[in-house]
Amino acid sequence: MEDREFEGRTALVTGGSRGIGRAVCLRLAASGARVAVNYAADRRAAEETRDLIRGAGGAADIYLADVGDHDATGAMFDAVERDLGSVDLLVANAGIARSADALSMSVETWREIMRVNLDGTFHSVWRAKDGMVARGYGRIVCISSVLGLAPNPIAAERMIAYGTSKAAVIGFVRQCAAALGPAVRVNGVAPGYVATDMTADVSDEARTRLTAAAALKRFGRTEEIAELVHFLLSERSSFTTGQTHVADGGYKFLP
């Protein structure tokens, strides 16, 4: 898909190296944005995302930072601003899940999931907001999850920390939208199951049950989530802020 809506804009996508984040990077670059691809560990994947963008004639660079680390996130923004310009579009996408996150979940697991999924979202938005408000333009999308709306009654795992972190992201989106408007719009996206590394270890049995429960009878594709993120960043959604939008293929157990 080709349009030039974000020509001259700089986008930062946390966790842009793989999965949903990569698809978002490619989609924004196809709209003309200069893209900062953030990663935490997998440099090769980040380089691949960057090279895909450059190969298609776009502008991108890669930035190492653990978004759970406040200072490292700040240093990443400094580098992006130096290289690519002020961040106009932020997609706070970086996230982790723990598949054995059941009632035996440890305190360490709880803290690590909150540190990356919630603190990481906060660090990124907080560093981006002042420049956006000062310039009178900013568009933010935070990636939540359907597990932030309700626990999953199908999969055996109880993703308590993960679901709670993603519920908090939905609240954070509402609070930030109220505080940062009218210059800045802040929305969320809550994907259902999407085929990425994060869901690669879902058992065949769970996969069968999960897809059977969805109206569309399949997992989502990363491009389908990226398209919704693009819409929420774009002026096609100019009257929408503070909302978290579900893209889950229609799980029948959700309200």
Given the rule CB under 6 A, which of 36-44, 78-86, 152-160, 227-235 is the region that contacts ligand NAP? 36-44
d(CA 144, CA 139): 16
Rg, Å, the chain Cα set: 17
The two three-digit tokens of residue 65, written as one number: 């930072």
Q: Which of 12, 40, 53, 210 binds ligand NAP (CB under 6 A)?
A: 40
Residues in binding contact with ligand NAP, number by CB under 6 A: 32
Q: Which of 191, 206, 210, 214 binds ligand NAP (CB under 6 A)?
A: 191
Based on the shown chain and the rule CB under 6 A, indicate whether residue 125 belongs to the binding site for ligand NAP. no
Name which of 199 and 243 has its Cβ closer to ligand NAP.
199
Name which of 90 and 96 has its Cβ closer to ligand NAP.
96
Nearest distance from C-beta of residue 211 to ligand NAP, angstroms: 12
Q: Which of 11, 96, 125, 226 binds ligand NAP (CB under 6 A)?
A: 96
Based on the shown chain and the rule CB under 6 A, indicate whether residue 197 belongs to the binding site for ligand NAP. yes
Pairing of strands 34-39, 89-92: unpaired
In Å, how far are 66, 91, 119 from 73, measured between CA atoms? Answer: 7, 14, 11
Q: Which of 11, 15, 163, 206 binds ligand NAP (CB under 6 A)?
A: 15
What strands lie across the sheet with 34-39, from one edge to the other? Answer: 59-64, 34-39, 10-13, 89-92, 138-143, 184-191, 244-247
State the sign of the Cα–Cα–Cα–Cα dihedral 188, 210, 249, 152.
negative
Residue (of 25, 112, 127) closest to 68 by Cα position? 112
Query: Residue 132 in 3-state DSSP?
Result: helix
Query: Residue 246 in 3-state DSSP?
Result: strand
Q: Which of 1, 3, 41, 208 binds ligand NAP (CB under 6 A)?
A: 41
Q: Which candidate in 39, 162, 193, 251 is catalytic? A: 162
Catalytic site includes residue 193: no
Q: Which residues are catalytic?
A: 162
Binding positions for ligand NAP, rule: CB under 6 A = 14-15, 17-21, 38-42, 45, 66-68, 93-97, 116, 120, 143, 145, 191, 193-194, 196-199
